[in-house]
Amino acid sequence: MEITAKMVKELRDLTGAGMMDCKQALQETNGDMDKAVDLLREKGAAKAVKKAGKVAAEGIIKLLVSEDNKKGTLIEINTQTDFVAKNDNFVALSDKIVKHVFDNNIKTVEELNETIFEGQNFKDYMSTQIANIGENIVVRRISTLMAKENEEIVGYVHFNNTNGVVLKAKADSEKTLEGAKQLLQNVTMHISAMSPEYISYKELSPEFVEKELAALKGALEVQNEENERLGKPLRHIPKYGSRAQITDDVLAQETELIRQELLAEGKPEHILDRIVPGKISKFFEDNTQIDAQYALYSQIYVLDADKTVEEAINDKAKELNGSLEVVEYARFKVGEGIEKKEENFAEEVASQMRGE
């Protein structure tokens, strides 16, 4: 049977496979379109398995939030190269996947893999897409948040689609949420930029704080050795790392120590009450550095350096005569935590020419 250009084009439109692959499939199936589609899928699946062994560390972050701010989905989809991550076909695929996840309230990758997508099992569908696009594609992470009454979902994706946040907040009323919407939107941008891992310092375990404090002290000691060699001021080595370590007894002892130091400097006792609060504030700043690194509420708010994020939220709640808090959030950055294989450039080109 003669294989026409029209038949090849039709098969390509159906499968997205290359022109030569389509022509060969039609020749092998004597022009039977359905059998040619099946044959290409079989070949595509075999090709996809090979591609799936390659590291997917580039990709895209996608976000969908409902118009009523009661549901939001954040998803990370990885591929092997930045070139494909910006490809229109990959972006369109990502849009379809995040909508599928959003519409079906899917919360995990495992759950997604068991769903039916465009008439077939999602994993099989992805195998076809891997074959068509020519690189391994992985849906790596999903976060779908649902809001109840007096709760709201907001989100943010950085302009280059490599970093995103979805956040759930709770207030005393829907009116407070409406008044705080812009602040909450700004908080998602803060999270995107500053990458806190927890909401409050209260979530940090004592063991974690001790380990991080030891590392901080070690780094500062090394830095001080260099500063001393260069004749630069030495950095303060903190006693503590978290507000959780600063008990009432610790605070009382520090307050008394500050008072005694001020008196020893010749400061009149009647002005100490005006000086001590500032010294205590500096003490907290120096001795809660682990909180400031890992806990959202303890970080300096990126839009107001005079406040922490917690203070900014509390000030907005007070302004609205209500209450407001962050309940939950997820922050995804493309490829974060993935060890990307470094390949020899010449070998990479040769690999591509071999079709691997």
Instruction: Classify each residue of 225-238 as buried b or exposed e, where b means 16 or more C-beta atoms within 10 Å of its C-beta.
Output: eeeeeeeeeeeeeb
Residue 157 has pLDDT above 50, yes or no: yes
Tell me the pLDDT of the chain averaged across its residues: 90
47-68 average pLDDT score: 78
Give tens-digit pLDDT for 271-295. Answer: 999 999 999 999 999 999 999 999 9
Would you say residue 346 has pLDDT above 60? no
Q: What is the pLDDT of residues 189-202, one digit of tens each?
A: 999 999 999 999 99
- Structural domain boundaries in the chain: 5-53, 58-194, 201-294
The CATH number of domain 5-53 is 1.10.8.10? yes
What's the pLDDT at 54?
A: 62
Structure confidence at residue 208 (pLDDT): 95
If one compares 20 and 149, the residue with the highest pLDDT of the two is: 149
SS3 235: coil
Provide the pLDDT confidence category of residue 2 given band limits of 50, 70 and 90: confident
Q: Give burial (CB, 10 Å; 0-12/13-18/19+) of 344.
A: exposed
The reported pLDDT for the residue numbered 34 is 84
- pLDDT tens digits along 200-250: 999 999 999 999 999 999 999 989 999 999 999 999 999 999 999 999 999
Supply the DSSP symbol for 245. G
Tens of pLDDT, residue by residue over 292-322, are 999 999 999 999 999 999 999 999 999 999 9
Per-residue confidence band for 40, with pLDDT thresholds at 50, 70 and 90? confident
Give yes or no for residue 330 having a pLDDT over 60. Answer: yes
Length of the chain: 356
Q: What angle do CA 279, 261, 274 make, to 5 degrees?
A: 40
Topology, domain 58-194: Tetrahydropterin Synthase; Chain A (3.30.479)
State the helix-helix crossing angle for 5-15 and 33-51, rounded to 10 degrees: 50
Point out the least confidently predicted range of 50-54, 141-145, 216-220.
50-54
Q: Is the pLDDT of residue 98 over 50?
A: yes
Share of the chain above pLDDT 70, in %: 90
Say what the pLDDT of residue 53 is: 58
Q: Rounded to a whole number, what is the distance in angstroms from the first to the last CA of the chain?
A: 32
Nearest partner of 256 among 229, 285, 283, judged by Cα: 283
Residue 124 pLDDT > 80, yes or no? yes
Model confidence, pTM: 0.79
- Look at residue 22 and tell me whether its pLDDT is greater than 90: no
pLDDT value of position 233: 95
Which range has the worst mean pLDDT, 10-14, 48-52, 237-241, 316-320?
48-52
The dihedral over CA atoms of 8, 10, 16, 18, expressed in degrees to the nearest 10, equals: 10
Sign for the CA dihedral angle at 245, 250, 252, 253 comes to negative
pLDDT score for 352: 47
Task: Return d(Cα 349, Cα 340) in angstroms, integer.
Answer: 17
Q: In the chain, pLDDT over 90 holds for what percent of residues?
A: 76
Q: What Rg value do the Cα atoms of the chain yield, rounded?
A: 28
Given a cut of 50, is residue 353 above it in pLDDT?
A: no
**pLDDT recorded at residue 48:** 52
Strand partners, 166: 155, 330
User: Is residue 27 a contact partner of residue 47, using CB atoms and an 8 Å limit?
Assistant: no
From the list 21, 34, 31, 37, the residue with the least C-alpha distance to 1 is 31
